[in-house]
Structure 1
Amino acid sequence: MADYLLFATERYALPILRPLADALHAAGHTAHAWFADGAAASTLPAPVRMLAPGREGLRAAVALQPRAVFSAANWVPPFVAGAKVQLFHGFNVEKREDARGHFRVRGLFDLYCTQGPATTAPFRALAEQAGHFAVVETGWPKLDPLFGDDDGGAAKWRRLAGRRQTVLFASTFTERLSAAPHLLEAIAAQIASGERYWLLTLHPKCAPELFERYRALTGANATFVETEDLISAQRAADVLVADTTSVVSEFVVQRKPVVTFRNRAPKPHMIDFDDPAALAAQLEQAFAPSPELQAAIDAYADAIHPYRDGRSSQRVIAATEDLLAGRLGRLRRKPWSSLLRGLQIRRELGYWGRGA
């Protein structure tokens, strides 16, 4: 059928791209992948065709002339052929101001596939102003496995937990927002008690010493979860403990409670606290949520990602085809700033050959 290119710059993009690759394969298409920067050594399983990292793979990506490039990063090589489709690498968790954060438009993409009403409306307003990109609400491919058939991962964690309640801990890498250094002792005490089973994970960019300290907590009452297995861990867990990581939003989509430590922008659906000694009390509240808290959780989930059918990847493909067929309207030329950004990307990648 057709060739498509998957693009990533960090390991955490792999769970976003894999469901899309599976959907492309099921539709008879071929998915190729070229990864740069922090994802350069990463791979997706067959039938994805991995291109070599570095310039060799980039030259192959250019020669491929894909029908579309799906990016789970903030940028995409503009000189590779095909429609440039933004998938996002996380939810809007308000780590930064809108102009610098989730709603920053860099002039590189033709289509933004938004996750839900909370992000669709702002991007559509930006599209009306700019005119050089389209916006379609599709849901997020990363969450397809959250609502599909269990691949066995979640069942594995549940077997380890036995009859105990299960808590997932996740933390952002942003030092000023990270709960990991502050909650280590409180979590260690919870794990030692054995009352509940803990799944522990950290953002891949967290400091190596934090990884060592959290991995040291594993045993009969806890296990460490790698980034690629995070969705299975979210399915298995009953409650999440986190900070300002976008995992909070991913978890809430399941309509499950979250406990947040010093969240930058706490909301009614969160149980936010600032004293590590209060962790145990917050967990008790999370495992017995009030009707008001559950209603806030449900409302937030509907706003950020109302799709629970596990078919967001198929909607992304359909939206891309609509774009290519002209059914999303005629787009204006990209701004001059995008040409300058394209030159910067060429310089950063060390590629000056011919492209799209």
Structure 2
Amino acid sequence: MATRRYLFFVSQNYSYAILRPVQEQIIARGESVAWYAHGDSIDRSYFREHERVLNDLDEVFAYKPDAVLYPSNQAPTFLPGINVAVFHGFDAGKVDKKGNNDHFKIRNCFDLYCTQGPDSTQKFKALMPAPSHFNVIETGWCALDPLFSHPRVVNKRPKILLCSTFSKKLSCAPHLLQQVKQISASGEWDWVVQFHPKMPKDIVEQYKSIQSEYLTYVETDDVIPLLAEADLMVCDTSSVLIMFILQGKPVVTFNNIDPGDYLLDINDPEKLQETIRRGLSRPDTLMNAINRFIQQQHPYQDGHSSSRLLDAVNETIDNQHRLAKKPIDIIRQFKMRRKLGYWKFF
């Protein structure tokens, strides 16, 4: 059998950590993998020396991938190979301008959705037409493989990880600044702060200005070590909180748009310190709710989601002739070509 070729199509720095576990599996199987980075939001200096990087779409066509993996919501449909959605996060309940859930939306871009757990699998399967032009296969999320193999850390003092989305409407960062400054100065806990790469620079600078012996601001393309080393997260409606809670650790949220019983949600910054203390005590009712949530969202803690994902991709490659033809979305694909600046074969 000829060596299969996989392409990673990326546009944000978080894509590196999402796809590198899959890259390890591809290499271990003796197959071929390459990257294509698009746009100004991704730092190409994060590529490693051994990684193959294609410089333009002409090189992508010459590479002739059997499958293109996207940690994004939409994709061009004119590249060779099947299109695979591997997601850039979990469903955090965010909605679009029309009030619809933005995570569960079929944009006629993908041949395969590699879902993360029973909840997402059921919701995507409910969107499948008959006959379907895409597959839905539950694999677990490849980005979490390193999380479940990361050594457990015992901190001298509890470590609090503060994360926040960049959305002005949803972000907890500006509202909690003064409380975090005051609480961290006491030295009761160690704090690590890490924000979405699109966070406004003025907010980032405000948090950098309160760094101390007990608080560190971190910029990274790989949040996994931060998640593994913290004892509790403070967040808002960012999907990164789901990655954290899947470890069986408590999360305190500020104005979460859909707070379940697995979260400790507050709407008053003054309640932050007492709620963190409650979370660190790990009450039974909270931990039982967290465990129920894990079983629905991502029950796979074996670190082998990348392997399952590759199996799902290969299954879809082998059986793509069974899929119905994707509906043509002329407007979306015109915008995609314009964004990529690529008009050949059009």
| Same-fold call, TM cutoff 0.5 | yes
Q: Which runs of 5+ in 1 are unaligned?
A: none
The answer on whether the counterparts of 1:3 and 1:67 sit within 8 Å (CA) in structure 2 is: yes
Structure 2 CA distance for aligned equivalents of residues 222 and 146 of structure 1: 23
- The two structures have a TM-score, normalised by structure 2, of 0.94
Cross-structure match for 1:186: 179
Aligned to 1:139: 140
| Partner in structure 2 of residue 291 of structure 1 | 284
Letter in 1 for 2:84: V
Counterpart among 38, 53, 57 of residue 50 in structure 1: 53
The answer for the alignment partner of 1:220 in structure 2 is 213
Is the CA contact (8 Å cut-off) linking 2:148 and 2:301 kept in structure 1?
Answer: yes
Counterpart Cα distance in 1 of 2:274 and 2:176: 14
Q: Deviations over 1:170-190 (max 9, x none)?
A: 000111000000001111111
**Aligned residues between the structures:** 341
The alignment's TM-score, normalised by the length of structure 1, stands at 0.91
- 2:325 is aligned with 1:330: no
- Note the alpha carbon deviations across 1:43-70, whole angstroms, 9 max, x for none: 4324321222xxxx22211221111100
* Structure 2: unaligned runs, 5 residues or longer: none
Whether the aligned pair in 2 keeps the contact of 1:8 and 1:34 (CA below 8 Å) is yes
- Partners of 1:214 and 1:18 lie apart in 2 by 30
Query: After superposition, what is the alpha-carbon deviation per residue over 1:232-275, rounded to whole angstroms, capped at 9, x for unaligned?
Result: 00000000000000011111110100000000111000000011
- 1:57-206 equivalences under 5 Å are 57-96=56-95, 99=100, 101-129=102-130, 131-150=132-151, 163-206=156-199
Corresponding residue of 1:16: 18
CA RMSD in angstroms comes to 1.8
- Tell me which residue corresponds to 2:223: 230
Of 37-46 and 229-238, deviating more is 37-46
- Residue 83 of structure 1 aligns to which amino acid in structure 2? I
- 1:47 partner amino acid: H
Deviations 1:153-182 (A, max 9, x none): x86xx6xxx510110000001110000000
Seen in structure 2, the aligned counterparts of structure 1 residues 212 and 269 have a Cα distance that, compared at 3 Å, is same
**Distance (Å, rounded) in 1 between the aligned partners of 2:150 and 2:282:** 27
Q: Output the CA distance in 1 between the equivalents of 2:218 and 2:227.
A: 10
Give distance in 1, aligned partners of 2:43 and 2:324: 36
Matched, 1:350 2:341: yes
Write out aligned runs for 1:1-12 (5 A).
Answer: 1-12=3-14
| Distance in 1 between residues matched to 2:175 and 2:25, nearest whole Å | 41
1:344 CA displacement? 2.3
Equivalent position amino acid for 2:87 in 1: F
Mapped partners of 1:284, 1:149: distance in 2: 25
Higher share in helix: 1
Equivalent residue letter for 2:258: A
Query: d(CA) in 2 for partners of 1:277 and 1:38?
Result: 39
